[in-house]
Structure 1
Amino acid sequence: MSRMKEIVAKIIDKYGTNDPFEIGKARSIEFVFAELGSTFGFYSSYRRIQFIHINNKLEKTIQRFVCAHELGHAILHQDINTPFLKAHTFFSQEKIEVEANTFAVELLMTDDAIYEYKDMCLSINKLAEIYGIPREVIHLKTFSNKFF
């Protein structure tokens, strides 16, 4: 099992959900929905209070992915005020952005959830669509041995 898959599994087990908004709420993270222009969202902290800022003009499915991505920063990079996640840098190759995207993909598209579709012969892109994962980051998903 990959390190990220282990981290996500522990988070899901601890909070009993893979919903990033519920996990954030349980961790006392403050959510700020605002007009952010071309910025999808960002994570910040001030005096040990964590904030996830989300563009209120985005579709709900993208807001959910952005929340999961920023939750990844809150958990993995809590001492770093991350750069703005902008439309044109959403798929950044910077290490912390790749880690946050990987966290979001593993959180929103768990192996157990995918396993439910095993007999339907769905493409990885269709599964990504079902779980609100942008196609550009689906390659970050790692699959467990139960799929092979």
Structure 2
Amino acid sequence: MSSNERIKIIVKRLKIIYKNMSIEEILRERGIVVCPIYGCNISKGAYKMYDDIQYIFINTDLSPEERLETLTHELGHSILHPDVDTYELKSCNCTYFLNKYENQADLFAAEFLLHDNIIENICGCFCEVGDGKSIYDIANDYKVTAELVLIKLSNLDKSKLNKFDLTLDCISVLNTLNC
């Protein structure tokens, strides 16, 4: 099983366990301490475990949408690699591992915040099928960044694309997104 498939399964299980709970409620339920970082223009957030207590540091200057995406991303760190101190990785030059863990947490956030039916909303944008929306429209609808939408698209099951009447041009555009 690939790392991406594993993350998708973990997110599905979490959604079943926590049903309609908000990210803040999930963090409280899991005993994760959220610590505000005031006046920080360097980082949106960070994850750290200290004395068996999980902490998420969150920049107070974020918009509500950025806050939600960042908290979800940091929750991903706490679940996918709880013993890895991303706060420490950011301060050293461990770019290989930092990139690996950041990409996994981004994928976790994309899977958690965006539904698999996103292709139904965006396909028309690329393929002129129906009233499709742009990636930016979808991002705005879901209150996430366009980057997160692209991450979600790149992780979609290719078999989901088969139910659409996709032209070769559309498929090549989607393939450039690795989906």
Pairwise same-fold verdict (TM > 0.5) = yes
Following superposition of structure 1 onto structure 2, how do residues 31-42 of structure 1 map, counting pairs within 5 Å?
31-35=34-38, 36-42=40-46
Specify the SS of the correspondent of 1:111. coil
User: Which residue number corresponds to residue 143 of structure 1?
Assistant: 156
Give the drift of 1:122.
2.2
Pick one of 98, 103, 115 that aligns with 2:103. Answer: 98
Q: Does 1 or 2 have the higher relative contact order (CA < 8 Å, sep 6+)?
A: 1
Pick one of 12, 15, 26 that aligns with 1:12. Answer: 15
Question: TM-score, length-normalised on structure 1?
Answer: 0.80
Greater C-alpha Rg? 2
Number of aligned residues: 141
For residues 54 and 79 of structure 2, the distance between their equivalents in structure 1, rounded to whole angstroms, comes to 10
Following superposition of structure 1 onto structure 2, how do residues 108-127 of structure 1 map, counting pairs within 5 Å?
108-111=113-116, 114=118, 121-127=132-138
Question: TM-score, length-normalised on structure 2?
Answer: 0.68
- Which stretch of structure 1 is more off in the superposition, 38-47 or 121-130? 121-130
One-letter amino acid of the counterpart of residue 61, structure 1: E
The 1:31–1:57 alpha-carbon spacing in structure 2 relative to 1, beyond 3 Å, is: same
The 1:117–1:18 alpha-carbon spacing in structure 2 relative to 1, beyond 3 Å, is: farther
Mind listing any 5+ residue stretches in structure 1 that lack a counterpart? 86-92
Mind listing any 5+ residue stretches in structure 2 that lack a counterpart? 91-97, 123-129, 164-179
Q: Does 1:48 align with 2:42?
A: no
- Which stretch of structure 1 is more off in the superposition, 116-125 or 23-32? 116-125
Specify the SS of the correspondent of 2:44. strand
User: 1:74-99, CA deviations, whole angstroms, 9 ceiling, x for partnerless residues?
Assistant: 000100110377xxxxxxx8110000
Greater share of strand: 1
The 1:18–1:111 alpha-carbon spacing in structure 2 relative to 1, beyond 3 Å, is: farther
Identity %: 32
